Amino acid sequence: MPSKQELLDLQFIDARHMLINLAAFLDRIDRHPGTDDYRFTALKTAIPILLESRPDRAKAVLESFSDHSTKIDPCAPFQGAFGAARPEK
């Protein structure tokens, strides 16, 4: 198993790249006209998880984007998924 130093050598630039991309995405949404929606809210809700001291941040982020409802609808109103649970109406 590689050491922390070896992993940093291998993956730091990629992680840095992904973080800057995320920061630029937040700036872009802020800069452009119109209103954001529940997906942007979900993203901002998930971001603080990155700074938590825990061993399962990826799992926690995925759970924060997940539909936690227990109701089972008879049929689907649409087919797709959008990456974040829609707020209950």
Partner 1 sequence: MKYIEPHAHMVSRTTDDYEKLALAGCEALCEPAFWAGFDRSSADGFFDYFRQLTEYEPKRAAKFGIRHYSWLCINPKEADDPGFAREVMSLIPQFLDCPTVLGIGEIGLNKNTRNELAIFEEHVQLAVDRDLPILIHTPHLEDKLKGTRLILDSLASFSKLDRGKIIIDHVEEHTISQVLDSGYWAGMTLYPESKCTPNRAIDMLEIYGTERLWMNSACDWGHSDPLAVPRCALEMKRRQHTPEQIEQIIYQNPRRFLSQSPKFRL
In order of 28, 43, 63, 70, the CA distances from 88 in angstroms are 27, 17, 17, 12
Q: Does 76 bind partner 1 (CB under 8 A)?
A: yes
Count of Cβ atoms closer than 10 Å to residue 65 Cβ: 15
Q: Which is nearer to partner 1, 51 or 75 (CB)?
A: 75
Q: Does 2 bind partner 1 (CB under 8 A)?
A: yes
CA–CA separation, 44 vs 26, rounded Å? 9
The answer to whether 42 and 64 have CB atoms below 8 angstroms apart is yes
Question: Which of 33, 48, 74, 87 contacts partner 1 by CB under 8 A?
Answer: 74
| Contact string 44-73 vs partner 1 (x = CB under 8 A) | ------------x-xx--xx-xxxxxx-xx
Chain residues that interact with partner 1, rule: CB under 8 A: 1-2, 6-7, 10-11, 56, 58-59, 62-63, 65-70, 72-85
